[in-house]
Amino acid sequence: MAAAPKLDRIDINILSTIQRHGDITNVKLAETVGLSTSPCLQRLKRLEQAGYIESYRAIINLRKLADHIIVFTEITLRDHGPKDFQKFEAEIRKHRNVLECHLLSGGYDYLVKFVARNIMQYQSIMEDMLERGLSIDKYFSYVAIKPVVTGNAVPIEDLLDRR
C-alpha cells in the first residue's frame, strides 16, 4: 500500500461522491468534483493505492430478493483472555450470515448483525455457534421490525472538520 497522501478538498469530494455513487463514471466524477478526466482518474487511483478506498459494492435490495429477518445480537463471552476474543472473532468472520460484528465496551462484548431467512434459521445459527466452543456465555437477540435509517455514506467532511 502506498503512503497516505495528504487529502485536499478535491480528494474529499471524490471520496464523498464515490461512497454514494460507486458506479459513477470517471467523466461524471470529474465533472462533479471540477476536474478534467485524466487528473480525476489519477487522483482516484492514488486514493485506491493509499487504501482510502477498500472496495466497490452493490447494495442489494433484500426486500425484493427474498423474505428475511435482520437480528441484532448482544454476545457476552464467558472468558475474556486474548485467545478467547481471537477465536470468537476468527469464527464470526467466516460466518456467511454475519453482516457486521463490533467489539464493544460496556455491558456486553460484541454486537453482531445477522441476516436469516426466518427465526428458525437464526436459532439454528446461534445453536451452532454455541456448540463450537466459542466461549459464549449469553446472548440477547433483537429482531429488527423495519429499517428506519440505513446508509453507508459517512459524513467525511464532518469527521475531518473541513466544511
* pLDDT per position as a tens digit, 110-150: 999 999 999 999 999 999 999 998 999 999 999 999 999 88
In this prediction the pTM is: 0.84
| CA 132 vs CA 43, 124, 126, 128, 135: distances in Å | 46, 12, 10, 6, 9
State the pLDDT at residue 160: 87
Same domain, 93 and 133: yes
Residue 93 lies in a domain: yes
Same domain, 88 and 39: no
CA angle 64–67–69, rounded 5-degree value = 115
pLDDT tens, residue by residue, 79-104: 999 999 999 999 999 999 999 999 99
Same domain, 19 and 54: yes
Retrieve residue 101's grid coordinates.
460484528
Let me know: does 47 contact 15? Beta carbons within 8 Å: yes
Cα-flanking dihedrals φ and ψ of residue 154, to 5°?
-90, 140
Q: Which domain holds residue 36?
A: 9-58
Cα-flanking dihedrals φ and ψ of residue 137, to 5°?
-85, -50
